[in-house]
Amino acid sequence: MAQLFPRRFGFFFRLGLLAFVALAVVAAFAWRATTARPAGLNDPLQQPVAFSHKHHVGDDGIDCRYCHASVETSAFAGIPPLSTCLTCHSQLFTGQPALAPVIRAFESGFAFHWQRVHQLPDFVYFDHSVHVNNGVGCASCHGPVDRMPFTRRVAPLTMQWCLECHRQPEKFLRPPERVFDLHWSADDQQVLGRRLVAFFHIDKQRLTDCSICHR
Ligand code: HEC
Ligand code: HEC
Ligand code: HEC
Ligand code: HEC
Ligand code: HEC
């Protein structure tokens, strides 16, 4: 049979097909990169079990550090392992349907994969212990967690947001014993704040240095 097209056409056709496939792969990655981000402001997430800070913190008064054990000592606050839940739930409410996923996961030995509510980009350095030990309360960044049946993000976590406090920490600082208090407020924040900047020896000049957050 006579050739319909010159041989070169086949080459360009295949080249075009290859380019198309490559483009589709790039587009698929780009789509994932823009859609698979952490929750937006105030979005509740689909978690493996409906864990409620409102019940555990607000109603039952459990301290943050019982579950987020490393928040005062390391960069990472820590997410509790299932064994922490089981210290109570091996006895409490074991028959509740809401708890079934916890018991099942514990017995099968598979860890939960909690969806992240907060997630900074990799090129930003953040450290919980520095903040918590220098008079910055959980509530300043996470809001009234004890009233949240689903954990939500209340702060934008943009660079601008970080810098608003780093430029004027006196507007936010609180006494060390109030860091875990979610509903504390000062009588006169300006006066107290300025005193606390001195008390914690905070060097405001250094706090706006690019290299403290981008190392
Ligand atoms: C009984 C255990 C428990 C206690 C007590 C507790 N938490 Fe949590 N916390 C969890 C679990 C489990 C998650 C992961 C599921 C979720 O996001 O709701 C979590 C998630 C969070 C997150 C979101 C983490 C992320 O993915 O970005 C914040 C913020 C948080 N907790 C703050 C607090 C604060 C502040 C307190 C104290 C006022 C506190 N928690 C007390 C168990 C606990
Ligand atoms: C210090 C004890 C304690 C620990 C630790 C604890 N719980 Fe609970 N949990 C309770 C109590 C008490 C209730 C009943 C809450 C209520 O209704 O006020 C409860 C209720 C629940 C419920 C039923 C729904 C609800 O919110 O009432 C779920 C689900 C649950 N807990 C999950 C967890 C998970 C997941 C963990 C580990 C991250 C955990 N709990 C750790 C004491 C605890
Ligand atoms: C200065 C703001 C700030 C303060 C104060 C703060 N957090 Fe966070 N928290 C963040 C940011 C930002 C992230 C996300 C970190 C990341 O993506 O690396 C986060 C993440 C978390 C997480 C998820 C695990 C992790 O470490 O990434 C938990 C749990 C949490 N915070 C609990 C707490 C508790 C409890 C307190 C109070 C004792 C607290 N935070 C105080 C800003 C803060
Ligand atoms: C509400 C106030 C507040 C907010 C919001 C805040 N910070 Fe800070 N930050 C502080 C204070 C206070 C210090 C302690 C300064 C000191 O030790 O002199 C600090 C210190 C730091 C340090 C220095 C750690 C070190 O090694 O000395 C880093 C890094 C940092 N913050 C990152 C961030 C990032 C990133 C964000 C935003 C996601 C943020 N901070 C949001 C108040 C805040
Ligand atoms: C207190 C912490 C902090 C300091 C200080 C800081 N940044 Fe950032 N920066 C962030 C955070 C958080 C992000 C990511 C969130 C965002 O993009 O707003 C970021 C993002 C960026 C980006 C990515 C571009 C973008 O908008 O997404 C650049 C570039 C950048 N910072 C440059 C700088 C430079 C230059 C300085 C010094 C003048 C600086 N940063 C100081 C916290 C900080």
Give 106 Cα–ligand 4 centroid separation in angstroms. Answer: 36
Confidence bin at 31 (pLDDT 50/70/90): low
- Give the distance from CA 26 to its chain's centroid: 28
Mean pLDDT, residues 30-50 taken together: 65
Top pLDDT among 38 and 145 is at: 145
Confidence bin at 153 (pLDDT 50/70/90): very high
**What pLDDT score does 187 carry?**
96
Best of 55, 68, 104 for a ligand 2 pocket test (most atoms within 8 Å of beta carbon): 55
**What pLDDT score does 16 carry?**
73
Top pLDDT among 92 and 71 is at: 71
CB atoms within 10 A of CB 27: 10
**What pLDDT score does 123 carry?**
97
Mean pLDDT for the chain?
Answer: 88
- CB-ligand 4 contact for 165 (6 Å cutoff): yes
What percent of the chain stands above pLDDT 90?
A: 66
Q: Which two tokens stand for residue 27?
A: 């587009």
**What pLDDT score does 5 carry?**
55
Mean pLDDT, residues 59-79 taken together: 97
Buried b (16+ CB within 10 A) or exposed e, 170-187: bebbbeeebbbebeeeee
Q: Which atom number of ligand 1 is nearest to the Cα of residue 150?
A: 18
Give 119 Cα–ligand 5 centroid separation in angstroms. Answer: 14
Q: Which two tokens stand for residue 66?
A: 């019982």
Question: What gap in Å lies between CA 202 and CA 93, rounded to an integer?
Answer: 46
The predicted-structure confidence for 76-133, as pLDDT tens digits, reads as follows 999 999 999 999 998 877 788 889 999 888 889 888 889 999 999 999 999 999 999 9
The predicted-structure confidence for 6-17, as pLDDT tens digits, reads as follows 566 676 677 677
Top pLDDT among 171 and 45 is at: 171
CB atoms within 10 A of CB 208: 12
